[in-house]
């Protein structure tokens, strides 16, 4: 592991010699991730993109892409677009990326279950702003806004997120 890896540990993420409090999925960390289980998947994930709300903030990094009102993420295991970004209108189950709350003001996209996509193995595993300190997610990793901004300023596409198995939510 490198100091430039984001490494999940009990109590937070270690990155560049600092530790940041974070929230993980309500189901803890699992090696056998399934859609809807609320778990954060164990393994090595890579950052593959960065989305942000251009109506709420300046680009957090030069490689960030603004989220539009029609941007969605498919979470329907029966859809051929499962775990892929899609556009509204979209008939299958999906998640809106442009939310009313601030959770998705900045979204680091990961390569979890991506190319190839395996139906039912989990979708939309992001790093984003937390609802409140350590409040569990549906499987994502979430941070205080200022901490996520600090991290984003120091990473790039390809940065590794190391999630060891066996970490309980807490």
Decide if pLDDT at 168 tops 70: no
Query: What whole-number distance in Å separates Cα of residue 45 and Cα of residue 40?
Result: 11
At 29, is the secondary structure helix, strand, or coil? strand
Could you tell me if residue 152 is left (phi over 0), alpha (psi between -120 and 50 degrees) or otherwise beta? alpha
CATH number assigned to the domain covering 6-163: 2.40.440.10
Does pLDDT of 160 surpass 80?
A: yes
Place 15 in a pLDDT band, splitting at 50, 70 and 90: very high
Q: What would the pLDDT profile of 59-88 be if each residue is shown by its tens digit? A: 999 999 999 999 999 999 999 999 999 999
What is the model's pTM? 0.95
pLDDT on residue 3: 86
Cβ atoms of 152 and 34 within 8 Å: the answer is: no
pLDDT in tens, 95-124: 999 999 999 999 999 999 998 999 999 999
Domain boundaries, the chain: 6-163
Q: What is the CA radius of gyration of the chain?
A: 15
């Amino acid at each position: 592991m490198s100091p430039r890896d984001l490494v999940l540990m009990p109590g937070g993420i270690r990155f560049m010699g600092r530790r940041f409090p974070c929230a993980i999925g309500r189901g803890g960390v699992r090696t056998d991730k399934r859609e809807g289980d609320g778990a954060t998947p164990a393994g090595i994930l890579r950052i593959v993109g960065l989305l942000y709300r251009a109506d709420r903030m300046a680009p957090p990094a030069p490689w960030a892409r603004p989220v539009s009102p029609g941007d969605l993420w498919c979470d329907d295991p029966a859809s051929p677009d499962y775990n892929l970004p899609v556009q509204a209108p979209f008939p299958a189950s999906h998640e809106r990326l442009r939310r009313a709350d601030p959770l998705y003001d900045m979204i680091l996209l990961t390569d979890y279950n991506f190319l190839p996509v395996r139906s039912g193995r989990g979708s939309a595993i992001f790093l984003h702003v937390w609802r409140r300190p350590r409040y569990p997610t549906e499987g994502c990793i979430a941070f205080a806004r200022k901490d996520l901004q600090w991290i984003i300023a120091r990473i790039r596409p390809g940065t590794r997120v190391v999630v060891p198995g066996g970490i309980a939510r807490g």
